[in-house]
Structure 1
Amino acid sequence: MSTSSRSRIAVNGYGVIGKRVADAVTQQNDMDLAGVSDVSADWRARMVTQKGYRLFGATDEHVRTMQNAGLDVAGALDDLLETADVVVDCTPKHVAAKNVELYRQKGIKFIVQGGEKHEVTGHSFVAEASYASAVGRDSTRVVSCNTTSMVRTLAALKHAGLLRRARGTLMRRATDPWESHLGGIMNTLAPEPEIPSHQGPDAQSVDPELDVVTMAVKVPETLAHLHYWAVQLTRPAEKDEVLDAFRTSPRIALIQMADGLTAINSVKELMADLGRPHDNLYEVALWSDMLKVEGDELFYAYMVDNQAIVIPETVDAIRALIGQVRDPHESIAKTNAALGIGAIFDALGGR
């Protein structure tokens, strides 16, 4: 365990989330990246060492495979865990649940991702809603990209005293872009077979008070998710009041069609122009000029980058488990500053 003020973080799994978490950790002034563990010996593992990160194999067998591929390997996952204060498990869905026994044996704090069930840790995390209850815990689960976006937006309305109930339709991208040659769908739409879709109950694992129902459909594109929401407010309100509620969240970016941001691809292009790594959109990008209020009914739409939105949440979850930063606002501000969250507002001339 680290005895300095800087926490040592291990990342297990170097896929689309793991590589972003590793990069984000290196940007924090109170964290060090202890190393990255993976099963791959291909170009992905080579990126780990090229960035100067310590590479570990998930098992001794994986270590040998990596060494045979000419990679500089520091050891196995067991060795990595001995040097870390927290491990962020970014392995594929259901794998993390199997790794939990090892983490508990090692006595190391751990974070799993939204593909695992709430019961794996008994706590689900979104910084603006459940940071305080995560402080000092042994583990937490950073919920999925869609659930994160839902909790951020609905929490903003709830904190403003405006939220009664919410009903959402989610258009989910078919697969990650780098895996689009392996699967996904083409020339069709695939509805989730049950209503509510799993995201609504998942949001309630973070805040049981939320009255939310979701419906979801998988669509043939890979850039991002798109949400449409119909919300009943606690009372009639004006549009500006609702926008002010959303402005209280530093991780909701109010964008406008009038700025040429008319589709998810144009928002991703803006992220590239801002110099974001991997074109990451960490914020919920919510169209303010599309938003409509009719009495006590609210209608709005936003975009979710499923590869990026959970990254700042994961950084905050690390701080919460370590317990050195107990105030969620302090951690959120530190993370946002390190990752450049808020730059989109400056680029668009304010919020």
Structure 2
Amino acid sequence: MAEQARTRVAVNGYGVIGKRVVDAIALQDDMELVGIADVAFDWRIQVAARKGYAIFAATEERLEPMRKAGLDVAGALGDLLGTADVVVDCTPKNVAAKNVTIYRKKNVKFILQGGEKHEVTGHSFVADANYESAIGRDSTRVVSCNTTSTVRTLTALKHAGLLRKARGTLLRRATDPWESHLGGIMNTLVPEPEIPSHQGPDAQSVDPELDVLTMAVKVPQTLAHLHYWTVQLTGAASKDEVLNAFRASSRIALVEIGDGLSAINAVKEMMADLGRPHDNLYEVALWADMLKVEGDELFYAYMVDNQAIVIPDTIDAIRALTGRERDAKRSIAATDRSLGVGAITDALGRG
């Protein structure tokens, strides 16, 4: 039998998420990165060119300026899309929605990120929860970092028959670390002006059955988000039952304060020690030793790497849209192997 051709993937936008998606695609045996489109010609795009990635201008107007800056630009976005089966749009918020017309005209499947509205694609994606419903679609939206973590953890409880309803408080980082010199907040906390905050309804766009409400506050740090959750269970349960439910998801890593992982900076340092690119934490890092069960009430907290958590789901979304892999567990396992998901558990001797 002839070997199946690899899925040809383009990435539009080489920022915080885009560069991580690009590196993850390059690790997949069943995918081929055909190029990167962007409007910039600063150090980020220059590094991408040094890595050997094909560079394209995201608009016709940027083609000549990028070439004058010394970049070997292969063409414009239309040229790139002509070589792709799927495009992953990692452009800034509200830009991607405008690109959808181009993608549809070129008849290329597309994946948007969580900054765009659910209505743009009519489908929102978290691999643990609804992989099968994305199979063969022309598009999907990988939800935001906070929503991804919410759906992952609540789905684990739901699959174990433990989840009745959930209420979460989100401590949100002020801005992305690489641009903290440009803005953010200092010496203050900024509550989101509405309850529920947008993450709860966004989680319901993935799974309408979730009874979830969120509140959020922006805090003056840039490393990661921190969530606190109160969950009403379907009945009285033991701590071991809850932990086993979380262990069933490869993308939830149980960590402990007793291991010295007492703060989000310590967890990030562990990612560096594990050799993760960009210190990426792809998993939800959930503190097992502070988790508490009181009758049918569950209390827990976890860390969310806003720059990395959506990367595995984006890779899985590519497989789902193309129908290349119809089994969610097989896609998740393949992605996890390529990214080293599970290394935290192994390093802590809990594999």
TM-score scaled by length of structure 1: 0.99
Give, in whole Å, the separation in 1 of the partners of 2:5 and 2:343.
28
Q: What is residue 248 of structure 1 aligned with on the other side?
A: 248
1:267-290 Cα shifts (integer Å, max 9, x gaps)? 000000000000000000000000
Map 1:164-203; keep pairs closer than 5 Å.
164-203=164-203
- Residue number in structure 1 paired with 2:155: 155
Q: Does 1:55 align with 2:87?
A: no
Correspondence list, 1:232-271, <5 A: 232-271=232-271
The residue aligned with 1:319 is 319
Aligned: 1:213 with 2:217:
no
Deviates most, 95-104 or 56-65 = 56-65
Using the TM superposition, give the Cα deviation of residue 48 of structure 1 relative to its aligned residue in structure 2, in angstroms. 1.2
Shift of 1:78: 0.5
Measure, in 1, the Cα distance between the counterparts of 2:103 and 2:230: 41
CA distance in 2, matches of 1:245, 1:339: 23
- Which residue matches 2:100? 100
CA distance in 2, matches of 1:223, 1:40: 25
Q: Which residue of 1 aligns with 2:70?
A: 70
Matched positions, count: 349
Render the CA deviation track for 1:213-239: whole Å, top value 9, x for unaligned.
Answer: 000000000000000000000000000
> For each residue in 1:111-141, what CA deviation from the matched residue of structure 2 results, as whole angstroms up to 9, or x when unmatched?
0000000000000000011100000000000
Residues 230-271 of structure 1 show CA distances to partners (whole Å, capped at 9, x for unaligned) of 000000000000000000000000000000000000000000
The correspondence of residues 83-98 of structure 1 with structure 2, limited to 5 A, is: 83-98=83-98
Question: What letter corresponds to residue 322 of structure 2 in structure 1?
Answer: I
Give 1:84's aligned amino acid.
Answer: A
- C-alpha distance in structure 1 between counterparts of 2:337 and 2:163, whole Å: 29
Q: 1:182, CA displacement in angstroms?
A: 0.8
2:333 equivalent in structure 1: 333
* DSSP-derived class of the 1:245 partner: helix
Instruction: Report the equivalent of 1:342.
Output: 342
Rounded Cα–Cα distance in structure 2 between residues aligned with 1:157 and 1:294 = 16
- Letter of the 1:19 partner, please give it: K
Give the aligned partner of residue 22 of structure 1: 22
Tell me, in whole angstroms, the C-alpha distance in 1 between the residues paired with 2:310 and 2:235: 32
The corresponding residue for 1:228 is 228
Residues of 2 paired with 1:5 and 1:242: CA distance? 42
Within 1, Cα distance between the matches of 2:114 and 2:341?
22
Amino acid at match of 2:124: S
Partner of 1:118: 118
Match of residue 6 from structure 1: 6
Letter of the structure 2 residue corresponding to residue 185 of structure 1 = I
Q: After superposing the two structures, state which structure 1 stretch, 190-199 or 4-13, moved more.
A: 4-13
Q: Distance in 1 between matches of 2:232 and 2:59?
A: 51
Aligned-residue sequence identity (percent) comes to 76
Residue 4 of structure 1 deviates from its aligned partner by 4.7
Distance in 2 of aligned mates of 1:244 and 1:341: 18
Shift of 1:160: 0.5
Aligned to 1:64, what secondary structure does the other structure show?
A: helix
Cross-structure match for 1:146: 146
Amino acid at match of 1:194: E
Structure 1 spans left out of the alignment, 5+ residues: none
Matched residue SS, 1:168: strand
Deviations 1:17-39 (A, max 9, x none): 00000000000000000000001
Cα distance in 1 between the residues matched to 2:177 and 2:189: 17
SS in 2 for 1:74: strand
Shift of 1:307: 0.3
1:221 and 1:17 map into 2 onto residues whose CA distance is 19
- CA distance in 2 between partners of 1:5 and 1:156 (Å): 34
Corresponding residue number in structure 2 for 1:37: 37
Structure 1 runs of 4+ aligned residues shifted over 4 Å read: none
Deviation at 1:60, TM superposition (A): 2.1
Coordinate RMSD, CA, aligned: 0.8
Q: In structure 1, how many angstroms separate the alpha carbons of the residues matched to 2:138 and 2:80?
A: 18
Residue 73 of structure 2 aligns to a residue whose secondary structure is coil
CA positional deviation for 1:5: 2.3
